Amino acid sequence: MSQIVKTMEERLAKNFKDSLSKNPHLARYLDNLARKGEELPEYFEQLSREMRYSKEVNILYPVGDPIFIHIKSVKPGERPSYIVIQPTINEKICRIMEIVEELIISKIDESVDFKTVEEHEEVLKKILKNTIKIDGSLKTGDYRIEKKSGYKRIYVNNETYRSLEYQLIMDKIRMGILEPFIRDEYIEDVSCDGVGPIFVEHKIFGSCQSNIVFRDEYELDNFVRKLSERTGRPVTFRNPIVDASLPDGSRINIVFGKDISMKGTNFTIRKFSDKPISIIQIIKYGGISALGAAYLWILLENNMSIWFCGETASGKTTLLRAVCVFINPHYKIISIEDTPEIIVPHDNWVREVTRQSESGSSSIELFDLLKAALRQRPNYIIVGEVRGKEASVAFQAMQTGAPVLATFHAGSVEKLIQRLSGSPIEIPKTYIDILNAVVVQSAVRIPSTGKVERRVLSINEIVGYDPEDNRFDYIELFSWQPSTDLHEFRGEGSSHLLENKIAVMKGIGRRDLKKIYVDLEMRAELLSTLARLNILDYFHIWRVIKYTYNRSVEETLERISLGEKIWEIEEYD
């Protein structure tokens, strides 16, 4: 290890020193940078959104031992490099791995049992430990085989052992070369366009080019075949396009072969975590105002149907998942999706997913699941993405009193209505006003920073359809102003839903309509208080919302202002 890296180690936190001692591949990587005269990266345990405004990036962070990520700027105007630092996997290690796999197979029998991925990993590590012994005199990548009492044992040094263990776990249990991207909580999308490097969309640093590369078509096709088999929806030349979910819940789209893709096999992964981004995080990031979120809270509390619209990667599903905490905790919810992305915190939640088959005879579509859901008496139906004929069933559900939340590809209320009333969906225009509200979102460039951010462009109330003028009336209650990056509210007296539907449901007379706006302001104040206190965890917000259902918004706000940490009370899990 060079003196430069030693100096770096001395000035860094103890946990980084431990990482260097446990991970010789990390120390070697830094040492190589120092020998080349390159500036060493700054180490962080966690990243902050403020880093996105840095002109030059050169950082290192862990994504779970033994994997580290180094992100560095290349040239102005070029995407940063995303460098995965992991145990050495070279030709020597691969040759040893072939021998190790043969020895391991001979030791696995029916008595080997496991129920979880973690148990599977422990079993494999135990077998590996009985198969390989450490000999510190050997060089990295060298090995020695001894045969005693009919058993073969292979001897390697400690670093080679770590590399073999890592590769075995990655290939047999985890996600192989994709594992670093899956572990990295800051990655939104993973994209392989064909032979060549994998690209990632980083939550902080945007589009980056990784050092993980597919060198030829055979390697890429073979990897994708194995990957698709693990999803339960294998690709074939007869079925070359697959949408599926990875074990961690991420969504993957695969296009297989050169017949339909000029550059050959490609795939895209859209990551979703088990813990959704909370509505308070979205408020703090500027995606929606506290008042806009409070408005959605009132609508959801009063069984209104809301559709979240926008283009691809505009944040529709993220916001839908975040606002589900506002639904009554005692409600029965049914979610229906092609690939499971929706997460709700409610106990009484039925999660249904479509099924595809090559023949089509045993396929279950969104349309089928939605029809079945109507017979299950849900309080809320959530459709992951409405695209076709299932829209007619969704409107039937709303007409029978079952509110529906859904995402939909449309950039405005007008485009939403055009798509719903046009082919192939063909919802009668007189039915569309059964949909109460439409949230329109987009990824926009903020003038003040030049960065692309997700923003709710508008929250709209559908008022009705005038058949004589063939015109829809809707109110744009909230709108985003690009010049100030603020969300404007049209103000008291402007809401059709609050005054003509929700006020009536609450027994509020025309003279007392101000009460409904006072309630709106109080909810916004509660959400703003949580944001000010930096209470960001999704399930902490869920506890607070459950408390308000058991008490009131006013009491919840009062208790929090007195210093009571309601979000820490497990009673509200």
Q: By C-alpha distance, which of 425, 426, 369, 432 is closest to 395?
A: 432
Q: How confident is the model at residue 338 (pLDDT cuts 50, 70, 90)?
A: confident
Residue 2 clears pLDDT 70, i.e. is over it: no
Rank 115-129, 412-426, 444-458, 511-525 by mean pLDDT and report only the highest. Answer: 511-525
Return the number of other C-beta atoms located less than 10 Å from residue 386's C-beta: 26
Yes or no: say if 268 and 253 are a contact pair by the CB < 8 Å rule: yes
The class (CATH top level) of 279-572 is alpha beta
Q: Would you state the pLDDT for residue 563?
A: 93
Yes or no: say if 380 and 405 are a contact pair by the CB < 8 Å rule: yes
DSSP SS3 for 279: helix
Q: Which is higher by pLDDT, 533 or 96?
A: 533
Yes or no: say if 155 and 133 are a contact pair by the CB < 8 Å rule: yes
Q: Would you state the pLDDT for residue 281?
A: 96
Q: Computed from CA positions of residues 280, 282, 288, 293, in that sequence, does the dihedral angle turn out positive or negative?
A: negative
Give the residue-averaged pLDDT of 67-96. 89
pLDDT in tens, 40-49: 999 999 898 8
DSSP SS3 for 519: helix
Q: Burial level of 412, CB count in 10 A (0-12/13-18/19+)?
A: middle
- Percentage above 70 pLDDT, the chain: 94
Give the residue-averaged pLDDT of 344-360. 82
Yes or no: say if 224 and 235 are a contact pair by the CB < 8 Å rule: yes
Yes or no: say if 384 and 445 are a contact pair by the CB < 8 Å rule: no
Instruction: Indicate the domain borders of the chain.
Output: 91-177, 279-572
Partners of 58 in beta bridges: 72
In angstroms, the CA 513 to CA 40 distance is 62
Yes or no: say if 247 and 416 are a contact pair by the CB < 8 Å rule: no
Return the number of other C-beta atoms located less than 10 Å from residue 442's C-beta: 21
* Stated pTM of the model: 0.82
Range with the poorest average pLDDT among 213-217, 224-228, 362-366: 362-366
Q: Would you state the pLDDT for residue 553?
A: 96
Range with the poorest average pLDDT among 125-134, 148-157, 498-507: 148-157
Q: What is the DSSP string of 523-570?
A: HHHHHHHHHHTT---HHHHHHHHHHHHHS-HHHHHHHHHTT--GGG-G
Give the residue-averaged pLDDT of 337-354. 89
pLDDT in tens, 234-270: 998 888 999 888 888 788 999 999 888 888 999 999 8
Q: What's the gap between Cα 71 and its chain centre?
A: 21
Structure tokens at 268: 């895209």
Q: By C-alpha distance, which of 172, 178, 224, 171 is closest to 198?
A: 178
Residue 176 clears pLDDT 60, i.e. is over it: yes
